Amino acid sequence: MARTVSYPLLVSGLVVALCAALAGSMMVGPAAAGTFELFNLFARGDGDVAWMIVREIRLPRTILAAMIGFTLGLTGAALQGFLRNPLADPGVVGVSSTSALGAVLAIYTGLSAMFALALPVMAIAGGLVCVVLLQWLAGRGGVLTLVLAGVAISSLAGALTSLALNLSPNPFAAVEIIFWLLGSVTDRSMDHVALAAPFMVFGWALIAWSARSLDALTLGEDSAASLGVNLARVRWMIVLGAAVGVGAATAVAGVIGFVGLVVPHILRPYVGHRPSRLLLASGLGGALLLVAADIFVRLVMVGAELRLGVVTALIGAPFFLSLVLRARAELEA
Amino acid sequence: MAARRLSLGGLCAVLAAAASAWADEGKPQRIASLNLCTDQMLMMLVEPERIASISFLSLQNERTPPELRDTAAALSVNHGLAEEVLLQEPDLVLAGTYAARPAVGLLRRLGVQVEDFAPEMSFDDMRANLLRMGDLVGERAKAEAIIARFDADMAALQAQAGEKDDMPVFADIEVNNWLAGAGTLSEEIVNAGGYRTLAETLGVVGHQNVPLEVLMTTDPDLMALETPWSDPPSLATNGLAHPALQRMAAARDVIDMPERFTICATPYSLEGARLLAAQRAGGE
**A1, part of any domain:** no
Q: Are residues B162 and B52 in the same domain?
A: no
CA–CA gap between residue B211 and residue B239 (Å, rounded): 12
Across chain B, what does the average pLDDT equal? 88
Amino acid at A188: R
Out of A57, A113, A304, closest to residue B213 by CB: A57
A228 at interface of B, judged by CB pairs closer than 8 A = no
Provide the domain limits for residue A55: 7-27+35-332
Using DSSP, state whether B53 is helix, strand or coil: strand
Q: Are residues B190 and B104 in the same domain?
A: no
Q: Are residues B54 and B168 in the same domain?
A: no
CA–CA gap between residue A98 and residue A129 (Å, rounded): 8
Q: Nearest C-alpha of chain B: how many angstroms from A240?
A: 27
Provide the domain limits for residue B228: 151-283
**B3, part of any domain:** no
Report the DSSP pairing between strands B77-78 and B51-55. parallel
CA–CA gap between residue B202 and residue B198 (Å, rounded): 6
CA–CA gap between residue B239 and residue B259 (Å, rounded): 17
**B9, part of any domain:** no
Least confident of A43-47, B200-204, B262-266: A43-47
| CA-closest candidate to residue B30, choices B86, B68, B96 | B86
Q: Do B247 and A173 touch (CB under 8 A)?
A: no
**A192, part of any domain:** yes
CA–CA gap between residue A212 and residue B146 (Å, rounded): 80
CATH number at residue A171: 1.10.3470.10
Across chain A, what does the average pLDDT equal? 87
Q: Are B100 and B34 in contact (CB under 8 A)?
A: yes
Using DSSP, state whether A45 is helix, strand or coil: coil
Q: Do B212 and A187 touch (CB under 8 A)?
A: yes
Asked if residue A85 has pLDDT above 70, the reply is yes
Q: What's the gap between Cα B86 and its chain centre? A: 25
Q: Nearest C-alpha of chain A: how many angstroms from B211?
A: 7
Q: Do A168 and B247 touch (CB under 8 A)?
A: no
Tens of pLDDT along A20-43?
999 999 888 776 555 566 666 666
Nearest CA in chain B to A50: B217
Tell me the backbone φ, ψ of residue B116, rounded to 5 degrees. Answer: -90, 140
Tens of pLDDT along A106-155?
999 989 888 999 999 999 999 999 988 988 887 666 667 888 898 999 99
Q: Compute CA distances A46 → A35, B212, B217, whole Å.
A: 15, 16, 9
Q: Nearest C-alpha of chain B: how many angstroms from A41?
A: 9
Q: Which residues pair with B209 in a beta bridge?
A: B178
Q: Do B243 and A175 touch (CB under 8 A)?
A: no
CA–CA gap between residue B214 and residue B224 (Å, rounded): 17
Using DSSP, state whether B279 is helix, strand or coil: helix
Out of B216, B234, B238, closest to residue A49 by CB: B216
Element (H, E) at A3: none
In this prediction the pTM is: 0.83
Q: How many residues does chain A have?
A: 333
Q: Are A70 and A205 in contact (CB under 8 A)?
A: no
Residues 6+ apart with CB under 8 A from A118: A106, A111, A112
Please tell me the predicted confidence (pLDDT) of residue A37: 63
Q: Are A62 and A25 in contact (CB under 8 A)?
A: yes
Nearest CA in chain B to A171: B229
Q: Do A108 and B217 touch (CB under 8 A)?
A: no
B interface test, pick of A26, A37, A56 with most B CB neighbours within 10 Å:
A56
Q: Which residues of A touch B175 (CB under 8 A)?
A: 172
Terminal-to-terminal C-alpha distance of chain B? 78
CA–CA gap between residue B247 and residue B176 (Å, rounded): 17
Please tell me the predicted confidence (pLDDT) of residue B149: 96
CA–CA gap between residue B199 and residue B190 (Å, rounded): 11
Out of B209, B216, B236, closest to residue A52 by CB: B216
Report the DSSP pairing between strands B31-33 and B92-96. parallel
Please tell me the predicted confidence (pLDDT) of residue B10: 55
Q: Are A258 and A93 in contact (CB under 8 A)?
A: no
Q: Which residues of A touch B206 (CB under 8 A)?
A: none
CA–CA gap between residue A3 and residue A281 (Å, rounded): 15
A321 versus B71: the higher-pLDDT residue is B71
Tens of pLDDT along B51-70?
999 999 999 988 999 999 99
Least confident of A28-42, B118-132, B172-186: A28-42
Using DSSP, state whether B39 is helix, strand or coil: helix
Please tell me the predicted confidence (pLDDT) of residue B25: 59
Q: How many residues does chain B have?
A: 284
Q: Are A80 and A264 in contact (CB under 8 A)?
A: yes
Asked if residue A256 has pLDDT above 60, the reply is yes
DSSP B134-197: HHHHT-HHHHHHHHHHHHHHHHHHHHHH--GGGPPEEEE-BGGGEEE-BTSHHHHHHHHTT-EE
A107 at interface of B, judged by CB pairs closer than 8 A = yes
Please tell me the predicted confidence (pLDDT) of residue B14: 54
- Up-side HSE of residue A63: CA atoms within 13 Å toward CB? 22
| CA-closest candidate to residue A188, choices A250, A99, A115 | A250
- Number of A/B CB contacts below 8 angstroms equals 82
Please tell me the predicted confidence (pLDDT) of residue A304: 67
Please tell me the predicted confidence (pLDDT) of residue A13: 95
Q: Nearest C-alpha of chain A: how many angstroms from B248?
A: 10
**A137, part of any domain:** yes
Tens of pLDDT along A290-323?
999 999 998 886 566 788 989 999 988 888 888 8
Q: Compute CA distances A167 → A160, A177, A192, A274, whole Å.
A: 10, 12, 25, 47
CATH number at residue B274: 3.40.50.1980
Q: Are B253 and B26 in contact (CB under 8 A)?
A: no
| CA-closest candidate to residue A130, choices A3, A254, A240 | A240
Count how many domains chain A has: 1
Q: Which residues pair with B114 in a beta bridge?
A: B93
Q: Are residues B97 and B175 in the same domain?
A: no
Q: Are residues B212 and B88 in the same domain?
A: no
**A124, part of any domain:** yes
Q: Which residues pair with A304 in a beta bridge?
A: A302
Terminal-to-terminal C-alpha distance of chain A? 18
A interface test, pick of B216, B219, B230 with most A CB neighbours within 10 Å:
B216
Out of A52, A110, A301, closest to residue B233 by CB: A110
Residues 159-188 of A with CB under 8 A from B: 168-173, 175-176, 179, 187
Q: Nearest C-alpha of chain A: how many angstroms from B278?
A: 30
Q: Are A284 and A257 in contact (CB under 8 A)?
A: no
CA–CA gap between residue B187 and residue B121 (Å, rounded): 10
Nearest CA in chain A to B245: A56
Residues 190-209 of A with CB under 8 A from B: 190-191
**B249, part of any domain:** yes
**A2, part of any domain:** no
**B10, part of any domain:** no
Q: Measure the CA angle with vertex A119, ends A118 and A121; round to 5°.
A: 65
Residues 6+ apart with CB under 8 A from A160: A101
Q: Are residues B163 and B277 in the same domain?
A: yes
**A239, part of any domain:** yes
Q: Nearest C-alpha of chain B: how many angstroms from A249?
A: 16
CA–CA gap between residue B13 and residue B111 (Å, rounded): 11
Report the DSSP pairing between strands B178-180 and B207-209. antiparallel
CB atoms within 10 A of CB A74: 32
Please tell me the predicted confidence (pLDDT) of residue A138: 74
Residue A259 confidence class, pLDDT cut points 50, 70, 90: very high
Q: In b/e form, how buried is each residue of A140-168, taking b as 16+ CB within 10 angstroms? A: eeeeeebbebbeebbebbbebbbebbeeb
Count how many domains chain B has: 2
**B159, part of any domain:** yes
Q: Compute CA distances B156 → B130, B152, B159, whole Å.
A: 21, 6, 5
Q: Do A172 and B236 touch (CB under 8 A)?
A: yes
Asked if residue B22 has pLDDT above 60, the reply is no
Nearest CA in chain B to A58: B213
**B128, part of any domain:** no
Q: Are A65 and A273 in contact (CB under 8 A)?
A: no
| CA-closest candidate to residue A101, choices A48, A177, A169, A34 | A177
